[in-house]
Amino acid sequence: MSRRKSAILFHRMLQGSSVAQVAFLVIVWLLGEALARITGLPIPGAVLGLFGMLALLASGVIRLSSMRRGAHVLIADMLLFFVPAVLAVLEHGEFVGLIGLKILAVILVGTVTVMCMTALAVDAGYRVMVAVEHRRAGA
C-alpha cells in the first residue's frame, strides 16, 4: 500500500472515531513524556506533547477536523480529572489552614501560568496557520 493511501486511511479512521482521536492524543502525550525522560529536558512531557501535536497540525500531517471530536470529548469530561484533588482535600483537614493557603497560592499561580503559556502556544499556532494559508493562497 502506498504512503498516500496509508495517510488517507489514517485520516479517515481518525475522523470516524472519537475514541481513536482520544487515543491518538494520549499517544502524542506519552511520546512527549518519553522524550522528556530520555533527554532529561527540564520541560514537562505534556508540554512537549502539546508542541508535538501543534507541529503535526501546523505541518498538515494531522488535520484539525480529524481531531475535533476527540478534543471535545476530553473537554466535556474535564471536570472528572479534578475529582481526586477534591477528595484529597476532604480527607486531610490540614489543607484548610495556612498550608492550604500556601497550596492554593501555588495552584493559582501554576494555573495562571499554564493558561498564559497555552494561550501563547495557541496564538503562535494560529499565526503560523494563517501565514501558511496566506502563503498557499498567494502561491
pLDDT in tens, 89-121: 677 777 777 887 888 899 999 999 999 999 999
Domain count, the chain: 2
Say if residue 47's pLDDT is above 70: yes
One domain, residues 2 and 62: yes
124-128 average pLDDT score: 92
One domain, residues 72 and 84: no
One domain, residues 47 and 25: yes
Long-range contacts (CB closer than 8 Å, 24 or more residues apart) made by 16-24 = 18/69, 18/70, 18/72, 18/73, 19/70, 20/70, 21/66, 21/67, 21/68, 21/69, 21/70, 21/71, 21/73, 22/70, 22/73, 22/74, 24/62, 24/67, 24/70
One domain, residues 44 and 69: yes
Domain holding 105, by residue range, is 79-139
- Specify whether the backbone of 41 is left (phi greater than 0), alpha (psi in -120 to 50) or beta: beta
One domain, residues 63 and 2: yes
One domain, residues 58 and 93: no
45-70 average pLDDT score: 85
If you average pLDDT over every residue of the chain, what do you get? 83
One domain, residues 32 and 87: no
Global confidence as pTM = 0.56
Share of the chain above pLDDT 90, in %: 28
